[in-house]
Amino acid sequence: MFPPWAPPKRLTGYLGVEMDRPVGIICRNVVSMRCRPDALSESVSQALWGERVALMADSRGFALIETPDGYRGWVIADAVCPALSLTGRSSTRLRDTGAEPAAHASGLWGTDEQERVIGELLAPLRTQPRSDARPITLLTIGARVTMAAGSDDDGYAPIALPGGGIGFVETSAIREPPSARIASREELAHEAFRFMGIPYLWGGRSTFGMDCSGFVQMVYGLHGTILPRDAYLQAAWTGAEPVERNGLSPGDLVFFGGDDPRGRGITHVGMALDPPDFIHAAGGTGVTISSLEDLPYSAIYRCAVRPRLTA
C-alpha cells in the first residue's frame, strides 16, 4: 500500500535535521490510517492496539501518526493515548536518528520488560479473569500489551489499559516480544499458514483483513523483523538480499508486477513455501496458496529477496 498524498517518511524532518516528536499509544484494537484527515478518505494502512506511534500533526479531530515501519497516515485522534498512560517508564518523546526503518522502529516498539505481543489470531480482552466476563475489545494478532502487576488468575493475565484500569487476556494468547524470538525460515512459513482464509482488505494488516504487503509484514514482524509497509519498498529494502528464482527457500519474498499508474514496477508480494508454491493475500480471495508456475503469476513474476532475520 502507498498513500497517494506523499511517500512514507522517517522522522528526519523535511530538511534532514533531527527533531523531537511526541509519542502516543494506539488504544483501539484496530484503527484505519487514512490519506487525509477525513473518515471517507482512502485507508492506506492500519495501526494496532498498543503500538507506539510518533505524533506528527493534528487536524479536525484527526492525528497524523507514524507507525514503527515508518508509515504515515491520519487516524481518529481519540484512538491515540499519551504514552505515559500505560507506564511511567515509557518515553513521551522520540528523537530521530535517521536510521534505517527497521532499526528506527525498534525504538518505537519500546523496551519495557513488561511488554508482550498477542500471538493468537483473536484474543478477547475482558473486564475480569474469566471466560464469561464482559469483553472490553477484541485484540488481533500483533497487538502490543503491557503486563500489569499481579499474577495469572485461572489462565488469564492482567493487562494495563491505556488511560488506566486493568483488563484480562488468556495467558495462552500472549507471546514474548518479537525481539526475544529468532525464527528459522521454516518457522516463518509455518506462521504464515495460520493466516489461511483471512480476507483481503486494501490497507489491512490485522486478523480482520490484510493486503499482500501487510500479510508478509505481519508474519516477519511476529518474529522480530520489521519490513517496510509496501510491496515495492520491500523489494528494494536494504535489509534483504536478492535471490534467484531457482534458489527460492521457504520465507523468501516473491514479487510481481502489473499495470500501475504510479510506475512503481512492483504491485504484489507473497512468501515462498516449497517452490513453486507461495502464500499471499490475494485480492478477492484472501490469504491463499498459489504456484509460481500458474497464470497470472508466471507471467508477472519480477524478483525475489531474502530478508535478514533480526532479533
Residue ranges covered by each domain of the chain: 20-109, 115-177, 181-307
Where would I find the H helices in 133-211? 185-193
Indicate the CATH number for domain 20-109: 2.30.30.40
Q: Decide: helix, strand or coil at residue 41.
A: coil
pLDDT at 6: 36
Question: Which class in CATH covers the domain with range 181-307?
Answer: alpha beta
Radius of gyration of the chain (CA): 19
Active-site choice (104, 212, 223, 303): 212
CB 218 within 8 A of CB 142: yes
Q: How far apart are CA 143 and CA 135, in angstroms?
A: 16
Sequence-separated (6 or more) residues with CB below 8 Å from residue 132: none
More confident residue, 93 or 220: 220
- The CATH-assigned architecture of domain 115-177 is Roll (2.30)
Active-site choice (35, 104, 223, 268): 268
Sequence-separated (6 or more) residues with CB below 8 Å from residue 7: none
More confident residue, 93 or 175: 175
State yes or no: is 268 an active-site residue.
yes
State yes or no: is 280 an active-site residue.
yes
Q: How far apart are CA 150 and CA 100, in angstroms?
A: 38
**Predicted confidence band of residue 180 (pLDDT cuts 50, 70, 90):** low
Q: How far apart are CA 115 and CA 157, in angstroms?
A: 12
Least confidently predicted of 85-89, 139-143, 214-218: 85-89
**Predicted confidence band of residue 268 (pLDDT cuts 50, 70, 90):** very high
State yes or no: is 104 an active-site residue.
no
Domains 20-109 and 115-177 share a fold: yes
> Cα–chain-centroid distance for residue 170?
22
CB 268 within 8 A of CB 231: yes
Active-site choice (27, 35, 104, 280): 280
Q: What is the mean pLDDT of residues 98-103?
A: 38
